[in-house]
Amino acid sequence: MKRIQLGNTVFEGRNDAYLFDRESGPTTLVDTGVATDDVRQQVRAGLAEYGREFADLDRILLTHWHHDHAGLAGEIQAESDATVYVHEADAPMVAGDGANHRAEIEERNLFERWGMPEEKATELFDFLEVHDEIQGESPTVETFDNGETFDIGDGQLRAVHLPGHADGLSGFEFAEDGETHLLSGDALLPKYTPNVGGADPRVEDPLGTYLDSLARIADAEYDRAWPGHRDPIEDPAARAREIRTHHRERTERVLDVLGERDAADAWTVSADLFGDLSNIHIMHGPGEAWAHLDHLERQGVVARSGAGEHDEYELVERDLDLDAIFE
């Protein structure tokens, strides 16, 4: 496996793509980077280091639909005729079947429900519109589900569905040099904690779903994880537990906010957690606050009012055991 490091000035930066070019196996690229000129040149240069170009690729596997992972898939497919695979839950978002971030937001009245000020919603939509071009050309896609395997010559990549950050987010497990590795996409990152709630509001119970994915990563005890951003993770189980602890602490902060107010919406809780927000974080901040509030509602800790128009949450269970929620 060969790592190709990419820049990314649009989102968090330092994306990774991974090349499998083993004897007798299909030449496979996992993730493509965002569709900008700089990243396009970096992918080409990275492939060239290993004697390959776009036209040589037989297969592209996508960890999830976000543009910084799938943006160049259509363009590479057009040049190589490579088959593009993505988890079935994310296929409509990659193939451009009328499914996109803005449509999902508007259909579910998310910003109104979260209590987002109109001027902030306008700022976010302006940001998304300016960056529409990073989505790139939509490829024709084939779908996979959890557990499906892909031959890479002298081994296999096995898809591991790890939803939370995105509904169809999937890692790919493989063996190399006697160790078990995971291409973790954005399910496990070495520096940031992947956003839940705002990054893909299609996910049902985003926080609870993500906690389940982290538990599966920890239980698998991989020797190393290769994330979608930045550098390899040498102890994936420990990192998964660390992120779980982070969300437990964030839940405590959410409860503190509710304890100080009669009721609060996701935007108000987000402001207490993260302060003033700009660009994509206008979506990610209240989205993550909502993910925690929604999970607490499911646990019977908070009650929601507003009938889906402007949701407010109040604390109804003050004597609770957080360890039970995060066991």
For 98-129, what is each residue's pLDDT tens digit? 666 666 666 568 889 999 999 999 998 888 77
For 230-287, what is each residue's pLDDT tens digit? 999 999 999 999 999 999 999 999 999 999 988 999 999 999 999 999 888 999 999 9
- What pLDDT, on a 0 to 100 scale, did the predictor assign at position 326? 72
Q: Nearest 5°: phi and psi at 117?
A: -60, 145
- What pLDDT, on a 0 to 100 scale, did the predictor assign at position 7? 79
For the ranges 94-103, 134-143, 212-221, the lowest mean pLDDT is seen at: 94-103
Q: Where are the domains of the chain?
A: 2-100+136-234
pLDDT value at 310 more than 90: no
- The first and second tokens of residue 85, run together, are 């695979």
- What pLDDT, on a 0 to 100 scale, did the predictor assign at position 100? 67
pLDDT value at 10 more than 80: no
Return the ∠ at Cα 266 (arms to 264 and 271), rounded to 5°: 90
**Strand 59-61 with 28-30, pairing:** parallel
Around 321, how many Cα atoms within 13 Å sit in the side-chain half-sphere?
A: 3
Average pLDDT over residues 164-179: 96
- What pLDDT, on a 0 to 100 scale, did the predictor assign at position 105? 67
Report the DSSP beta bridge partners of residue 171. 160
Query: Domain 2-100+136-234 sits in which CATH superfamily?
Result: Ribonuclease Z/Hydroxyacylglutathione hydrolase-like (3.60.15.10)
- What is the C-alpha separation between 123 and 105, in angstroms, rounded? 14
**What percent of the chain is predicted at pLDDT more than 70?**
93
Going from the C-alpha of 228 to that of each of 31, 62, 114, 205, 303, the distances in angstroms are: 8, 10, 29, 23, 36
The pLDDT confidence band at residue 14, using thresholds 50, 70 and 90, is confident
- What pLDDT, on a 0 to 100 scale, did the predictor assign at position 8? 63
Maximum C-alpha span of the chain: 64
Report the DSSP beta bridge partners of residue 15. 6, 229
- What is the C-alpha separation between 249 and 292, in angstroms, rounded? 11
